[in-house]
Structures are given as C-alpha cells and as structure tokens.
C-alpha cells in the first residue's frame, strides 16, 4: 500500500471539491433540507476525510476514483494511518464515514458524472438492545412526583418519539379527530407526522395543558418547574434537563441498568414488533425513512415475532 500524506482540504481537488460543495447545499431526494446534525456529519466525512485522501492520492475527478481507492481509504481509517489523530478509528465511526461517502458518490452519479467507485462498509456486530419492560416504565412513572414528569415518561414510552420531538411539542399539537387521538410531531429535516396516542394519554396531555402547565412566553408544552433567574419566566425544558430527570427516576424506581430518553424509543419499537405490528407502518409512526434501521437494529426480535405470528396463523387454519 502506497504511503500517503493527508493534506489540508484548502489544497483543493478540482471537480470533486466543487461537487462536494454542491452536495452539501443540495436538498435530499425528497426535496427537504437536511438537519444541522446530518449536514455536519456529511461535511466531516466529505471535507475532513474524502477530500484530504483524494488530494494526497492525486484524485481530482470522480471518474478517477476506483474501488481500490475506497478500500485503501477505509483500511487507512481503521488502522489509523489515514485518520486525523493518527489513531485507529472504531468500526462504527468508519462505517458512518463510508455510508456518507457512498451517499455522496451515488448523488454524483445521479447528477450525470462518471463514477463507478463504491466503498465497502466494515461489518459491524449486531447490537443486542437492552430495553425497558412495561413494568419498569410503570415504576418510573409512579416514582415521578410531578404530572409533567409522569407525562414525559408515559409519552416517550407509548409513542416512540424522540426526545427532541417531544420537547418541541405545544398544547396545540395534541389532536383529536373523531375518536382518534394524535400527537403532531416535528421530526428530522422538518418532516411533520401525526403519531397515534391512546385516548387516556391524550386527555391527560390536554388536562395538563389547560390546568397544570404554567403561563409562559414559551409556546412549548413542557416547561421548567421554576422561573428562570435571568428572564423571570418559565422556560422550555432542555434535553439535558430531561436526561437528568430520567436518570434519577430510574434510580428511584430501582432500575440498575443505564436509562436514557432514547431507550424509551428502542423499547417502544421492540414492544410493537413483539406485538406483531407491521414494520412498514411502525417505521412511519416512529419517523424512519425506510425499514433499514429496523432491520439493522431490531433484528433480535424478528425470529421470536416471526415464530409467534406463523404459529398463530397455522393454528388458526
């Protein structure tokens, strides 16, 4: 393997440099704007990893990239010779970089440029997720002293929404359409969706908004319990505040494993798959663009679910 010295992206790589700039400013395939977090991930992978490698390898045009280049780039990230720190990168980190680079190369090809290279992502061990049982969730809700905190636990557990989505909610986002109840969610990339919620939870949220929630200049549903010393007003809850609250409630409920807000999302998806919910419908409820995430992360429930579903249909025949 040839020894390469990574250079600063300011050295430029011709057409590739321009294409990366265009890609970072382009909307997604569905015409939506990428979230700030997603944009930073792509920028880091393309400007911080791909461009320096291409500059050192003398590659300035997409057509010059080969599978050999991509393999060399991946290998160098894994062994540390191509990382900015000089230390080997973990497989999940390299996997994320390669996925972003491949997305960019596919976009370049769709734009009419000649490119045939594609990087192979390092194989990752399947994660076995630790989830919360329904009894543990009940215990955490019971341990909460404030109705606000009880509702945060119950809404995260019974809707599968992300913490950031929950904290963006306003009283007007609790919807009733006939006998059906929904929570309007502002998801990633400005994608709104309606998430079904149980009637009892909808009534609790509405009652909280009318009678318990403090008056505030903020339109958010969930506010701090004390006034801000700086503004004298009740501010919108922050993610760090809820994360700390969740940790303390888990301890109060006697749960010894690590509990964090996103664990409720994993637990909800696992629960619904085990109950036999259609994965396609479930992906829409939780805001996944495709089934890829469910297939990769929740494979641990598919065999048991498949067995139970098959036995149910066979015994009913």
Decide if 162 is catalytic: yes
Which has more pLDDT, 98 or 129? 98
Quick: pLDDT tens for 6-23. 444 444 557 888 999 999
pLDDT for 303 beyond 60: no
**Amino acid 1: pLDDT:** 40
List the catalytic residue out of 188, 191, 193, 227.
188
* Percent of the chain surpassing pLDDT 70: 83
pLDDT recorded at residue 92: 87
Domain limits, the chain? 15-111, 134-308
Task: Determine which one of 260, 262, 307, 312 is catalytic.
Answer: 262
Greater model confidence, 26 or 312: 26
Three-class SS of residue 75? helix
Average pLDDT over residues 66-87: 91
- Give CATH for domain 15-111: 1.10.150
To the query of whether residue 227 is one of the catalytic residues in this protein, the response is no
Q: Which of 9, 76, 148, 162 is catalytic?
A: 162
Kindly report, residue by residue over 197-245, the tens digit of the pLDDT.
999 999 999 999 998 888 888 999 999 988 888 888 899 999 999 999 9
Considering just the CA atoms, what is the radius of gyration of the chain in Å? 24
Cβ 133 vs Cβ 268: under 8 Å:
no
Query: One of 34, 213, 265, 266 is an active-site residue; which one?
Result: 265
Q: What's the CATH architecture for 134-308? A: Orthogonal Bundle (1.10)
Confidence of residue 2 (pLDDT cuts 50, 70, 90): very low
Query: Can you give the pLDDT at residue 126?
Result: 63
Active site residue 298: yes
> Residues 183, 186, 191, CA angle at the centre, nearest 5°?
120
- Cα 294 to Cα 76, 97, 273, 297: the distances in Å are 30, 21, 10, 5
Q: Any residues with CB less than 8 A from the CB of 220 and at least 6 apart, and which?
A: 167, 168, 169, 170, 236, 237
- Would you say 242 and 236 are in contact if contact means Cβ atoms under 8 Å apart? no
Q: Which residue has the tokens 């309606």?
A: 194
Q: For this structure, is 84 an active site residue?
A: no
- 15-111 and 134-308 share one fold: no
**pTM of the shown model:** 0.64
The answer on pLDDT for 309 being more than 80 is: no
Q: Give Dmax over CA atoms of the chain in angstroms.
A: 69
pLDDT digits (tens, 9 = 90+) for 172-192: 999 999 999 999 998 765 678
pLDDT > 90 fraction of the chain, expressed in percent and rounded: 53
pLDDT at 30 over 60: yes
The larger pLDDT score, comparing residue 316 to residue 149, is at: 149
């Amino acid at each position: 393997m040839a020894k390469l010295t990574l250079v600063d992206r300011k050295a430029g790589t011709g057409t590739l440099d321009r294409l990366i700039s265009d890609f970072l400013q382009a909307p997604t395939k569905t015409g939506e704007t990428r979230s700030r977090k997603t944009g930073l991930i792509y920028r880091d992978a393309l400007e911080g990893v791909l461009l320096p490698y291409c500059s050192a390898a003398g590659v300035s045009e997409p057509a010059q990239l080969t599978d050999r280049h991509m393999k060399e780039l991946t290998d160098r990230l894994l062994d540390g010779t191509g990382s900015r720190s000089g230390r080997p990168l973990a497989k999940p980190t390299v996997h994320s970089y390669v996925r972003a680079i491949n997305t960019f190369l596919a976009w370049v090809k769709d734009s009419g440029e000649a490119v045939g290279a594609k990087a192979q992502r390092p194989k990752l061990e399947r994660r076995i997720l630790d989830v919360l049982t329904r009894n543990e969730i009940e215990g955490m809700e019971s341990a909460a002293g404030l109705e606000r905190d009880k509702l945060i636990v119950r809404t995260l557990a019974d809707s599968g929404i992300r913490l950031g989505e929950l904290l963006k909610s306003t009283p007007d986002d609790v919807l009733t359409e006939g006998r059906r109840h929904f929570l309007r969610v502002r998801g990633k990339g400005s994608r709104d969706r309606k998430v079904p919620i149980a009637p009892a939870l909808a009534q609790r949220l509405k009652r909280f908004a009318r009678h318990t929630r403090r008056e505030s200049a903020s339109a958010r549903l969930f506010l701090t319990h004390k006034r801000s010393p700086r503004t004298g007003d009740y501010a919108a809850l922050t993610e760090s505040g809820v994360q700390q609250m969740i940790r303390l409630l888990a301890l109060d409920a006697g749960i010894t494993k690590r509990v964090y807000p996103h664990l409720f999302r994993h637990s909800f998806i696992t629960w619904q798959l085990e109950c036999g919910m259609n994965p396609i419908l479930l992906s829409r409820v939780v805001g996944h663009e495709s089934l890829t995430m469910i297939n990769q992360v929740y494979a641990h429930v598919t065999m048991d679910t498949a067995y139970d579903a098959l036995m149910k249909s066979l015994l009913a025949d």
